[in-house]
């Protein structure tokens, strides 16, 4: 986030909505939604010391049968996401 801030961005957006296999097989994209606590720690680390807001794009859940968006949003807000 520091690099984005240096480049003059008004905010930074973390994409946790990408469902493609290339991202999810490496634990990125929508697979991050599987663990709201872990995602919260990641966001907390990104927000720490930043002067610009961090937004996070999410889906309802990682899979159609695992809808946990409310839990994810709570974790993100507690971590400092905008």
Torsion of CA 78, 80, 81, 82, to 10 degrees: 110
At residue 52, φ and ψ (nearest 5 deg) are -120, 150
**Which residues are the active-site residues?**
18
CA distance 39 to 80: 12
> What is the H or E stretch that residue 13 is in?
strand 12-15
């Amino acid at each position: 986030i520091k690099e984005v801030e240096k480049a003059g961005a008004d905010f930074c957006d973390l994409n946790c909505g990408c469902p493609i296999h290339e991202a999810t097989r490496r634990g990125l994209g929508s697979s991050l939604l599987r663990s709201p606590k872990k995602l919260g720690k990641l966001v907390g680390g990104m927000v720490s010391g930043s002067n610009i807001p961090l937004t996070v794009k999410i889906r309802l859940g990682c899979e159609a049968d695992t809808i946990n968006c409310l839990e994810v949003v709570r974790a993100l807000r507690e971590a400092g996401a905008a």
